[in-house]
Structure formats: C-alpha cells, structure tokens
Amino acid sequence: MKTSNPMEKNRLGFLTIASDSSQARLGGLLLVNASGRPLEFHCTAAVKPNRAQEILYGPTLGQYLCGEQIGMALCNALKHRPAILLTDIKDVLALRPLVDFPLLLVVTEQNKRQDFSGLLVKSHLGTRKVCVHCDYEQDLAKGKAMLEISAENLDLQEPFGRIAEAISEAQGGSRKQRVA
C-alpha cells in the first residue's frame, strides 16, 4: 500500500520565461521544497514564432507561446506535481486551464509596471502582491493556505533569478537573456 508523502504537499513550482537577443523565448521551471531547495529543473529550447504565427495569433501570441507551448511543455516534463505554480510572466496564466493545480502570478520589481487589470484578481501574500486569472479566483485561497503553512519564509521573487541564471548556463552562458 502506498502511503501519502507529506513533502508532496510542499512542492512549489516557479516558472519564468526569458528572451534572448533574437527575441526567442526560453522557459524554465524550478520545482523546490518548502525550504527553497531544488527538486527538479527543466528548461526549453529557444522558441521563436515565425511571421505567419505573429500575424495569425495577433495579440494572443504571447499567451499561446508562454502558456500553451512553453508552460505546458515544462509542466509535462515534471516528474513530481507541484502543489502550486508561481510565475512572474502574465502570459503564463494562459496555462491555467490546462493544469490541475493553482497558478499565481507574483508581482515583482521587473513586472510591477505591467497592467494587471481586467482579467486578473489581485491580493497580498505576506509582503508580496499576487494575481490570478479571474476564472480561477479560488487559486488565491489555495495558494495562500499552502504558502502560509509550508513556505512562509520563502522569498517568492528570488527563485525567478535562479531560473534565469540556470537558463543562461544551460544555453552555454553565451546568450544574454531578459525576462519576457
């Protein structure tokens, strides 16, 4: 008989997308325990839309690339399911209908000037602002409960920097990346 592992409930996923000098997007997903120690790391190859995709997808191209393509590929690569997934890229929220765990957008120094109005619901998690898609407002309560219990001392912005550095290292350190 398989017993339930309490550590399973404490897995946090951090997903971010960087872009290189050619505007190709590269995604990274870091799965950590409640102490912030890495359990898994996955990154994608560079994804660059062609001109036809830019035309056909129009203003939804970012959501398609970040959520459905890159985000889904990273989630499918995971060996363990996260209790919650955090991102710092608004377009990654397009992944939420495709996964069965809460997805929260962490408002960081890099993205705080973006417009989070409209489809997003804002809240506070300790000192950090978070957002969720309005169709998944229940993710706020689930995310807060999980993080308050198991990761109250974890800096929700710091893992995104680790992912960006790991993506750069995985790409041979030769590409200069910036958050998408």
The model's pLDDT over 22-50, given as tens digits with 9 standing for 90+, comes to 789 999 999 999 888 999 999 999 999 99
Q: What's residue 23's pLDDT?
A: 81
What is the distance of C-alpha 177 from the center of its chain?
16
Q: What's residue 150's pLDDT?
A: 63
Where would I find the beta strands (DSSP E) of 4-127?
12-19, 25-32, 38-43, 84-87, 103-106, 120-125
In a domain, 73, yes or no: yes
* Number of compact structural domains in the chain: 1
Residues 6+ apart with CB under 8 A from 93: 63, 67, 87, 103, 105, 120, 131, 132, 133
- Higher-scoring residue by pLDDT: 124, 28: 28
In a domain, 179, yes or no: no
Sign of CA dihedral 35, 121, 72, 9: positive
Segment 114-123 long-range contacts (CB within 8 Å, at least 24 positions apart) = 114/90, 116/90, 120/90, 120/93
In a domain, 129, yes or no: yes
Average pLDDT over residues 91-103: 95
Confidence tier at 2 by pLDDT (50, 70, 90): very low
pLDDT higher than threshold 50 for residue 1: no
Q: What's residue 5's pLDDT?
A: 52
In a domain, 152, yes or no: yes
Q: Which H or E run contains 141?
A: helix 138-150
- 40-80 pLDDT per residue, tens: 999 999 999 999 999 999 999 999 999 999 999 999 999 99
Residue 160's CATH number: 3.30.2170
In a domain, 30, yes or no: yes
Q: What's residue 120's pLDDT?
A: 74
Distance CA 14, CA 103 (A): 10
Confidence tier at 104 by pLDDT (50, 70, 90): very high
In a domain, 35, yes or no: yes
- How high does pLDDT run on average in the chain? 85
In a domain, 178, yes or no: no
Show the domain range for 147. Answer: 6-173
Decide: 74 and 45 in contact? Cβ < 8 Å: no
Q: Which residue has the tokens 């459905």?
A: 68
Q: Which H or E run contains 149?
A: helix 138-150
In a domain, 87, yes or no: yes
